[in-house]
Structure 1
């Protein structure tokens, strides 16, 4: 019986480096830039003892306080069950307090403690420094244009 021949499972060899077409896509490049930015900010926050979602929650609590947990979860687009764990961590660390919501005693209202506010200020500075590092290759004019264009393509305008 004659052996069947199948096409090779190996990709054809070319002189181009792998993934050239993929790496030329704006979405690929934007994703890589976003990953680098997240890593820089995460490292800066870690130096302050905070994780990214903890920072997001602290920032939102500062801006919305006193805020009901459910409203906070909606405001930062996080599953309420996940938020409970983050708030537990923040409360154990003395960074937030949960008290009965004066408008609805069945709910908890979350507020920053003084220590939470001070840590948030340090973390915001650390995040700004990390973003400065991310954008360091760009001139001031390029940064302004870059932010304008990013805002436009992200759908975050207005």
Structure 2
């Protein structure tokens, strides 16, 4: 890669988090805060992966368990578990993850399109895969992950 190609390549900051043994990433632009697990109030008649809501500094925020959303085995929340609060155009939502690892810069040209993986529920939620040194980061498509929640939120307005 030439020096000019490196200069032309845009970088983006991402939050890296873990579910089971895979590392995922979302753009830091949509992340408001990362919280330790707080008391979650269950809400009736919501999908199983919507754990409930929390009151975060006066804002009632729905909480989504990404393990359940992706059809992965459930895991009790522990000291490493985190809630990543993300902001969409319509509302804030918290994503329960096993661990929030770090914030890194990745070059946009290091993100490859979503691989054709047959039979995995989570594949519809992936926007691409980033290769960073020896790591493979699965880039989430938050729009798809949160789609049903948006419908519920909009219907209630």
After TM superposition, the score normalised by the length of structure 1 is 0.24
Whose relative contact order is higher, 1 or 2, with alpha carbons under 8 Å and at least 6 apart? Answer: 2
After TM superposition, the score normalised by the length of structure 2 is 0.24
User: Rg larger in 1 or in 2?
Assistant: 1
